[in-house]
Amino acid sequence: MASAMLLPGAATLGVMGGGQLGRMFVHAAQSLGFRTVVLDPDADSPAGLVAHEHVQSDYLDPAGLARLSAVCDAITTEFENVPATALTQLAASRAVAPAGSAVAVCQDRADEKAHFKASGVACAPHAVIRSAAELAFVPDSLLPGILKTARMGYDGKGQIRVRDAAELAAGFAALKGVPCVLEQMLPLQLELSVIVARGADGAIVNFPVQQNLHRDGILAVTEVPAPAVSAELQAEAVASAGRIAASMGYVGVLCVEFFLLQDGRLVVNEMAPRPHNSGHYTMNGCDVSQFELQVRAMAGLPLPQPRLHSPTLMLNLLGDLWFDAAGQERTPVWDQVLALPGTHLHLYGKQSARPGRKMGHLNITAASAEAARDVAQRAARLLGLPASW
C-alpha cells in the first residue's frame, strides 16, 4: 500500500525485528520526532527496549501483525530473515519498505543470483543444487568452491568449502540436503560494499564505497575512503548497486557486497535489504547516517546525497572482548579507548556477551585516513584485537 509523505513528529514508524539494526533505526527515527514500534519475540530485544512500544510476538503471529499495522503509518524490517509473507500481509494496509517481494529475493541465494544476472551485474560462476541427484551434474570447473545453503546463512554460517566432488557430496549431506548454491572459489584481492538508498519516486543516493575485512566470516574492519579501490572501480560498484536496486523497484536502504578479484574484475557477492554492518561508520563519518536514510525512504521524505566529512574506520566489537584468556568475564578498557582522539563507541544494549556475538562497534574519525588508521590500530591493541590490516 502506497502512502503520502510522513512528516517528522506526526507519524509512527514500525520495524520488524528487535536487534541492533532495529535499535539504531529507532534512535534515528526518534531523533526526527517519529513515534516508534518494534515487533520482536524477545522481551529483552535491543530495539524493543528503546522503542515507544514493543509488540512481543512471533513474526507471523496474526495478533502481533494486526497490532503493528493498527498503530503504525509505515513499516520496515531490520533483518532479511523476517518472513517475506509477513511484510506482504502488512503491505495490504500500510506502507512497507522494502517490499516483501524484494526481501524474498534477498532471502534465497539462487533467486538473488538470478536477479544479479537479470540486472546485468556479474557474479561468481555457480550452480544451484536442490537435491542429491543434481550433484552428478555439477561442472568440474566450479571446484574448488564454497557450498552455501540457499536460505538462512549469514556471517559465514551455512557454508562449507569443498575441493572436489567427494567433498561436495559430503558437504551437501552435512548441510542436511537443503537447497544450496555452489560458488566457484575465486582468487580475491579484497572485499567491498556499497550502500544505496532508493525512494518510492525512484530517486537514489549512495554512500562512499566501503573496503571491508572479514575474519572467520564476520566483518571485522571497514575503511572509508576505500584505500585500495580505484575511482573507476568505485564508480562501477556504485552503478551496479544502483541497477540492482532499481531493477526490483526497491524502496529503502540496500547493501550490495562485492569481491575485487586478483585480476582486477569486480563481481557481486550478495545483498542485504537493510542497513548493514559495513555502513555503521556513517553514524559518525557522514552528514547523514544509513539509519536516517532508512527512515527517510520509508516515510517518503527527500533523500540527500550523503557526504563523507571525515575519513572513518569502523571496528566490529564481538563478545569475545568481554572475556579474558582464562574465559573469565571482564569489562573492556573503554576508558582507555575513549581517551583516544576521534573515537565513537556504540554498544547495542545486549544483556549478555558471548564469543562471536555482535555487541557493538567503534568508529574512529580523523582529518586523514592515515590518522584514522593509526588511532584504530592503537584502539585495537588496547582491546586485544588484531591491529594490522
Flag whether 356 is marked binding.
no
Bond before 225 cis per omega within 30 degrees: yes
Please give the radius of gyration of the chain, using alpha carbons only, rounded to the nearest integer: 21
Q: How far is CA 121 from CA 24, 43, 239, in A?
A: 31, 41, 10
Place of cell 499495522: 69
Where b means 16+ CB within 10 Å and e means fewer, 205-244 reads bbbbbbbbeeeeebbbbbbbbbeebeeebbebbbebbbbb
Using a 10 angstrom Cβ sphere, with 0-12 exposed, 13-18 middle and 19 or more buried, the burial of residue 375 is: buried
Flag whether 342 is marked binding.
no
132 contacts 41 by C-beta, under 8 angstroms: no
Side by side, the strands of the sheet bearing 95-96 are 53-55, 35-39, 12-16, 74-77, 95-96
Q: How far is CA 85 from CA 29, 112, 359, in A?
A: 25, 17, 30
Flag whether 40 is marked binding.
no
Flag whether 212 is marked binding.
no
Alpha helix locations (H) across the chain? 20-31, 62-71, 84-90, 100-107, 109-118, 165-174, 231-247, 282-285, 290-299, 334-338, 369-383
Flag whether 292 is marked binding.
no
Flag whether 153 is marked binding.
yes
Flag whether 113 is marked binding.
no
Flag whether 184 is marked binding.
yes
DSSP string across 226-256: -TTS-HHHHHHHHHHHHHHHHHTT--EEEEE
Flag whether 214 is marked binding.
yes
Flag whether 156 is marked binding.
yes
Using a 10 angstrom Cβ sphere, with 0-12 exposed, 13-18 middle and 19 or more buried, the burial of residue 369 is: middle
- What is residue 353's DSSP assignment? -
Q: How far is CA 146 from CA 142, 187, 258, in A?
A: 9, 13, 16
357 contacts 277 by C-beta, under 8 angstroms: no
Flag whether 108 is marked binding.
no
Q: Which residues are annotated as a binding site?
A: 109, 148, 153-159, 183-186, 191, 214, 269-270
* Bind-site residues for ATP: 109, 148, 153-159, 183-186, 191, 214, 269-270
